[in-house]
A and B are shown apart, each in its own frame.
Chain A
């Protein structure tokens, strides 16, 4: 069975989703979803071990080899991403049943879990596959279910947010598809490995250039790089809390994965960084993104909006690391990928707890929460500190490597700007702290109690991970380094 693990990783949640319809009771479906996600997590651990020991795993679908059939190709980068996605999903699901009780009517809860599983499946599929068209198919699965999940938010504005995301996301996906189609036309293959071998022959054609341009724009829409980020804040703010936590921890990460995978393993590093002035473009957009989004975050009244803008800023950090174009820079990006997933899932899940008790995440309703929900608020503060990059949290580790990478490359101004960006994070995190600890609670909210255990356990698991991986960086740094080195090794 061990040989089938690559496909089982994706197949398990995929087959589980339609089975949910037969279970009929939301509670049972929740338990079932949780078990499936947990099993997927175990599979991803096993895959990671296999990859670290014996290198890239190739699995041929239908027994058809190479460019004729579709193959799954799991290398260190994929295995790392698989681990992040499955771990986040499992922890977040712990709180799902309690959270959606208040946010989604009972008759629709089963559909919620089905869509959740599909979104999960889609992301795992994108990360596992070694075939560019298969990427598109699974991108559709994950996006389509994400649109529906966001639209299930209690607020009526969720529908409009989901619609905006749908339009922008579909444009992104179509651009990616056009890119894939043009590549196929010039090479006759859809297999990533095969493409990497055949693209250099036709690299100088205008068609391949257009393919590259379409792909980059499409994927940047998906990862919400400034100025293509406009869909993100509302989508995150009005989605059900669980969905926000899940998407914030995984969706943009998968888009970044796609960017790295295509530029490094398909187009090749030399092509990617020379055809378009990609490095300059990305470093500028990344930095502007950090500042514009962080500044916007400061002025938000809705805390979910606030952290959504902060997510856009964090994408900026990842893109800056990527654009440095060295092993060290890529490593900083991958590290931040992992660390940001930990921070944002903790923060948004804690916000879910606030939503559960108060029914709103407006900054004004946070007044006095520091005393009423001490554990939840402590978690938000811890996550916020991590977001700023205070030592002993994961945020520090990723900023540290990012600054090191910039300095190593002689990009002093970039390093300084990255640090300045963190100052903005202090301001927006402080606004929450101020509201929660230094303002008197409104009279009406006297009866607010601490969040139930179903929230506190996963939230504090994530906070603990934030601190653990901030102190003991061996695992995350080693993984990021191994993945970055293998990418540079393939295409020097």
Chain B
């Protein structure tokens, strides 16, 4: 199931590309096909791969799915055709974004200007959603590790991770480049597809790769969890502070025009900082989630080993 949903993510990413929604496709590819598949696999590693036999017959669920599908198809009957220039969605709000965003915001990628300036408050909300998810995982899964357990687990780990020599060397070479690519995506958002969300995920992916190949204990030594948590908070606060500063400068919340003498320069500055906030928050939250999942697996394995 995890593999299927990964394939689904990748396919929908390709679908988005053919619909010319490159930014969405990029996000879907990195999050839908990448990180969520990975998280699902870690969950399976924890719980086991076979499903318990179902006691009830899911007929009601099937009926609900069927009705929903029928209603969705019904909804398409009066919908404007795909790509219709006269569709309301293309006539009302959109023209201003297309025509004026260059003068008002001065960013080549219109998606970025909508996302990070016109509707910046929504994006702020999304970052908060992600941060909430991270805190939720911490609230439910975190637990204090005993040092003696830690030592034993790490010895388990080292013996296990001494295999896979080739993979380890290759990824050691690759990881710096992945990190570099993340930074490129982070700052490229102004000109093409990219931005904080995708960059954060890619950055976190590099760290996760490291943790998977070299063991949690090694990764834990390299990355302090308390520090990561504080950094996640910093990401959210950074975004919010841009808004607060713009309020102190006499504008409304998240009004970047007042951040600098020149409104366009102010917009650039504002978008740069909030994207950084997004990137930091996303990367750290993904790392937090993975580490907490993986810790559980380590403990479980350790218990099994002890029994053997």
Q: Which residues of A contact B (CB under 8 A)?
A: 4, 7, 11, 14-15, 18-19, 21-22, 59-64, 67-70, 107-108, 111-112, 114-115, 118, 121, 125, 131, 133-134, 137-138, 140-141, 144-145, 147-148, 151-152, 159, 178, 182, 184-190, 198, 202, 205-211, 213-214
Q: Let me know if B247 and A4 touch, CB within 8 A.
A: yes
Give the complex CA separation of A336 and B48 in angstroms. Answer: 48
Whether the pair B93, A63 counts as a contact (CB closer than 8 A) is no
Pair A144/B129 contact, Cβ less than 8 Å: yes
Q: Can you list 5 pairs linking A and B with CB atoms under 8 Å apart?
A: A69-B119, A115-B139, A145-B132, A178-B72, A208-B78
Task: Tell me whether A137 and B129 are in contact in the complex, defined as CB-CB below 8 angstroms, given that A21-B233, A62-B253, A185-B88 are known contacts.
Answer: yes
B135: chain A residues within 8 A (beta carbon):
111, 114-115, 118, 145, 148
Are B122 and A137 in contact (CB-based, < 8 A)?
Answer: yes
Flag if A11 contacts B243 (CB, 8 Å). Answer: yes
Cα–Cα, bound, A107→B139 (Å):
9
**Which residues from A are CB-within-8-Å of B5?**
none
Is the C-beta of B308 less than 8 angstroms from some C-beta in chain A? no
- Digit string of B37-81 for contact with A (CB within 8 Å is 1, else 0)? 000000000000000000000000000000000011011111110
How many inter-chain contacts with C-beta < 8 Å in the A-B complex?
170
Contact A68 B142 (CB under 8 A): no
Is B257 a contact of A63 with CB atoms below 8 Å?
yes
CB neighbours (8 Å) of B237 from chain A are: 15, 18-19
Please measure, in the bound complex, the distance between the C-alpha atom of A11 and the C-alpha atom of B78, giving whole angstroms: 40
Q: What is the minimal beta-carbon distance from B197 to any residue of chain A, in angstroms?
A: 14
Evaluate contact between A144 and B79: CB separation under 8 angstroms: no
Q: Which of B74, B75, B89, B244 lies at the interface centre, i.e. has the most chain A CB atoms within 10 A of its CB?
A: B75
Closest to B128 in A: A141
CA distance A115 to B122 in the complex (A): 19
CB nearest neighbor in A for B255: A63
Q: 8 Å CB contacts to A: which residues of B108-122?
A: 117-122
Within 8 A of A (CB), among B84-139: 87-94, 96-97, 117-122, 125-126, 128-129, 131-133, 135-136, 138-139
Q: How far is the CA of A7 from the CA of B246 in the complex (A)?
A: 13
Chain A interface mostly? helix
Going nearest first, the 9 A-B pairs with the smallest beta carbon separation are A188-B92, A210-B75, A148-B136, A137-B125, A18-B233, A111-B139, A63-B255, A205-B78, A188-B88
Shortest CB distance B61–A (Å): 10
Using CB atoms, name the residue of chain A closest to B236.
A18
The residue among B88, B128, B140, B142 with the most chain A CB atoms within 10 A of its own CB is B128
Given A21-B230, A186-B88, A63-B128 contact (CB < 8 Å): no
**Bound complex: CA A140 to CA B87 (Å):** 29
CB pair A185–B80 under 8 Å, yes or no, is yes
Contacts of B290 in A (CB 8 A): none
Which residues in A have their C-beta under 8 angstroms from that of B88? 185-188, 198, 202
- Bound-state CA distance A159–B236 (Å) is 28
The answer on a CB contact under 8 Å between A185 and B79 is: yes
Question: What A residues does B125 contact at CB under 8 A?
Answer: 125, 134, 137-138, 140-141
The reply to whether the CB of B1 lies closer than 8 angstroms to some CB of chain A is no
Query: In the bound complex, do residue A214 and residue B247 qualify as a contact, i.e. CB atoms below 8 Å apart?
Result: no
A194 to B252, CA, bound (A): 21
B58 to chain A, nearest CB (A): 13
Chain A: which residue is nearest B229 at the CB level? A21
Q: Which residues of B contact A140 (CB under 8 A)?
A: 125, 129
Interface of B is mostly: helix
Supply 4 further A-B pairs (C-beta < 8 A) apart from A59-B252, A64-B118. A131-B122, A185-B89, A186-B80, A189-B92
Instruction: Tell me whether B139 and A152 are in contact (CB under 8 A).
Output: yes
B26 near A: Cβ within 8 Å?
Answer: no
- Inter-chain CA distance A170–B184, complex, in Å, is 34
Bound together, the chains give a CA A230 to CA B128 distance in angstroms of 29
Q: Is A108 a contact of B252 with CB atoms below 8 Å?
A: no
How far apart are A202's CB and chain B's nearest CB, in angstroms? Answer: 8
Nearest residue, chain B, Cβ from A142: B132
Assess the B93–A68 pair: CB atoms within 8 A.
Answer: yes
* Residues on B with beta carbons closer than 8 Å to the beta carbon of A69: 118-119
Contacts of B229 in A (CB 8 A): 21
| Residues of chain A within 8 A of B131, CB atoms compared | 18
Q: List chain A residues, Cβ under 8 A from B255.
A: 62-63
In the bound complex, CA of A7 to CA of B128 (Å)? 16
Residues B132 and A61 in contact, CB atoms below 8 Å apart: no
Known: A118-B132, A133-B122, A182-B75. A61 touches B139 (CB 8 A): no
Say whether B203 faces chain A, with CB atoms less than 8 Å apart. no
User: Judging by beta carbons under 8 Å apart, are B129 and A206 in contact?
Assistant: no
| Closest beta carbon of chain B to A376's beta carbon, Å | 28
Contact check, A62 vs B118: say whether CB atoms are below 8 A apart: yes
Residue B240 at the chain A interface, CB threshold 8 Å:
yes
Whether B294 sits at the interface, judged by CB under 8 Å, is no
Of chain A, the residue at the smallest CB distance from B117 is A62
Q: Is B129 a contact of A141 with CB atoms below 8 Å?
A: yes
| Beta-carbon contact of B252 and A60 below 8 Å | yes
Most B CB within 10 A of own CB, among A19, A68, A112, A140: A68
Q: Is B254 an interface residue (CB 8 A)?
A: yes
Interface pair A134/B122, CB less than 8 Å apart? yes
Do A184 and B254 touch (CB < 8 A)? no
A87 to B240, CA, bound (A): 25
Inside 8 A of A131's CB, which chain B residues have their CB?
A: 122
Residues of B within 8 A of A111 (CB): 135, 138-139, 142
Q: Tell me, in angstroms, the Cα distance from A69 to B133 when the chains sit together.
A: 26
CB neighbours of A61 from chain B (8 A): 120-121, 252-254
Of A21, A22, A131, A159, most buried by chain B (CB within 10 Å of CB) is A21
Q: Does B4 belong to the interface (CB within 8 Å)? A: no
Q: Closest approach, in angstroms, between the C-beta of A98 and any C-beta of chain B?
A: 19
The closest CB in chain A to the CB of B270 belongs to A62
Report Cα–Cα, A159/B129, bound state, in Å: 20
What 0/1 readout, one digit per residue, does chain B (224-245) give for beta carbons within 8 Å of chain A?
0000011011101100100110
What residues of B have a CB within 8 angstroms of the CB of A187 in the complex? 88, 92
Interface flag for B293 (CB, 8 Å): no
